[in-house]
Every structure is written in C-alpha cells, then in structure tokens.
Copies of this chain bind each other. A is one copy, B any other.
Amino acid sequence: MERTVNVGLIGAGRIGRLHAETLAHRVRGVSLLAVADVVFEAAEKLAADFDVPSALKDHRNILDDPKIEAVAICSSTDTHASFIEQAAQAGKHIFCEKPIDYDLKRIDRTLKAVEKAGVKLQIGFNRRFDPSFKKARTMVADGKIGTPHIVRITSRDPKTPPLGFVERSGGMFADMTIHDFDMARYLVGSDVEEIYAIGTVLVDPAIGKLGDIDTAVVVLRYENGAIGVIDNSRQAVYGYDQRIEVFGSKGGIVVSNPTPDLAVLSDADGVYSAKPLYYFPERYAESFIAEVREFIECVQEDRVPPVTGIDARIPVAMAIAALKSSRENRPVKLSEIG
C-alpha cells in the first residue's frame, strides 16, 4: 500500500480550489494539511470546504512545516518563480501551475534552484493527462502511425477573457497557445526548431487596443522534419474546441471534442446534437485529477515527474518566438530566442 504524502497548498483561488478537491477526495495516499493565501478569507473558506486542518495567510508557514513533504503552487503567475525557489530551498517537492514565469532567464534561475535542491518539480500542463490525448500520444509512441509528418492542434476558447485578465495575461501566445506548444511537443516527442506565426484581432478590437491578439495560426517546424499547425481563437461560440491530429507514414490519429450528452434529435428540419463541453473545468476535469495523482505517485515512488522543468521552459520560449514571428512576419528559429 502507498504511503501518505502530506501536502500544503499555496493559493486558494479557482485553480487552487480545483486542486484542493482533487487532493481531498480523488487521490489516495494524500493528506492536505494546510492552505495559504494572501487573501486569508479565501484560505479559510477552502479549508472549511475541504476539511483542511490549517488555513494560513503566509505561505512560508507551509514551507517551514516539517510534516509537509510537497506543495502545490496555485498562486498568481508572478509569484511562481519565487515560490518554487523558496519551496525548493525548504526541500519540498513542487507541483506548480504553468507558467513558471514569462522570462526565460528567470525560469533558468528557478530551475537551477530546483536542481540544486534535488526536489521534484511538476508543471501543470494538465492536457497531457486527458485520456484521449494520452491515448493518441501512446499510439504515436508505439509506432501505430509510423513516423509523424503533420500535427494539427485546434484550441479555441468559448469566450474572450475579461479585458482585465488580458492585460495581465502575458499575451495570447504565452497564456493560451502555451498549452498547445506543450501539446505539440508531447504528441510527437520531438522539439521544434522554427516557428512562423500569424496573430491577429478578429474577435474583439478592445483586445487589440491592449496590444494583444485573439486569433492565431502558428506553424511549427520540428527538429525531426515534421510540420505542426496550431490554430487558436479566443471565441468559439459553440464551446471549447480542443482537437488534435497526428498524421504519419503509417496512419493518422484524430481526437474530437467530448460533449455533455449523446442525445441526437432528428426532426423534419435536421439533425441536432450537443455542443462540446463548455470550458476547461468540464473538458479537462479528468486530466486535472490525473496530473495531481501522477505527481503524488512520483513522490511516493520517487520517480521523475512526467512534466518537468525543461517542459516548463520550452513552451515559454516558443511563445516568445511566436510573438516575435508574428510581429516581424517571418519564421523565427528557437535558437534566436535563447
């Protein structure tokens, strides 16, 4: 039987609550001992809702607690790098939401701190744990489609984010496409060496006024010769659109969108079926649980987590390259980014 891992949670916002539920109810061998949030009321509410013994204002109290072996960092993005470093110094294993930071040098410093401390670090690229995408990756790795030639990723949100969020988001490539950059690497098991991106404003001019984009197509040239294409929109009115395809020398794999129900109505006017699941909490419900479960198992069994430091860094570099490409309207090599 697995031993129990004591965990502290930093950040009691939306994603913190989501992971709290997983840690409280969906993973065996875990004890969620404490939660910290600068908004103390949020920590208190989360603690009450999920029976967490200790609610704190200062995350350092978690780091100082010798009973706690691992932390889940769900605070705001600008704190990630520094909290990871502090946790590493405190000898805690770390699960952290993406991204570590938008600055590659800052990421590198952080990763060095993790390496020096010898703790485990897993980044929250949860989509790798989606059953359909995972099966696709497994089939690719098993050679079912031979050598990958073309990868297609469609990733569209159901609605534009609040403008306040857009301002602090780091831009669409860094905030949204970053998941697809990770997926592109994951599906093929190879890195990208050059990126050509078109980013534009077709949905909401207000987003453009903030200097951001809402629609993009990104072409990836993989090191192994394959070509990838990502298309993004901040607004698919029919719901969250998350599809992938990997095409290769011996076949292809396609993943379509799950729906909340499978009832199909036919009448004199046509045939009607359900829209895709609305957004990430529904669409990726299983993968949010599976990634945390995997992290806990890695701690229990002393394994290297499946999404580690370099997997956090590279998509940020890809986002920087995509932004540069779209601004200069030319293909940009990853080697230009550093």
Contacts and interface: CB of A to CB of B under 8 A. Distances in A.
A84 interface: no
A203 interface: yes
Contacts of A154: 152
Contacts of A271: 238, 272-275
A219 interface: yes
A231 B251 CA distance: 15
A227 B264 CA distance: 20
Contacts of A227: 198, 200, 215-217, 231
A120 to B, nearest CB: 27
Given A217-B227, A237-B250, A249-B203, A270 B273 contact: yes
A310 interface: no
Given A132-B261, A144-B265, A150-B217, A225 B200 contact: yes
Interface string A321-336: 0000000011100000
A95 interface: no
Contacts of A217: 150, 219, 227, 229
A154 to B, nearest CB: 8
A262 interface: yes
A233 B149 contact: yes
A230 to B, nearest CB: 9
A132 B202 contact: no
A236 interface: yes
Contacts of A219: 196, 198, 217, 219, 229
Nearest to A201: B225
A51 interface: yes
A242 to B, nearest CB: 10
Given A219-B217, A331-B329, A262 B255 contact: yes
Contacts of A131: 260-261
Contacts of A221: 198
Interface in A209-246: 215-217, 219, 221, 225-227, 229, 231, 233, 235-239, 241
Given A200-B227, A202-B147, A215-B227, A255 B250 contact: no
Contacts of A236: 247, 252, 266
What 9 A-B pairs are tightest by C-beta distance, nearest first?
A251-B267, A238-B266, A132-B261, A25-B25, A237-B268, A135-B263, A131-B261, A217-B227, A132-B262
6 contacts: A152-B152, A217-B227, A237-B268, A238-B270, A254-B266, A270-B274
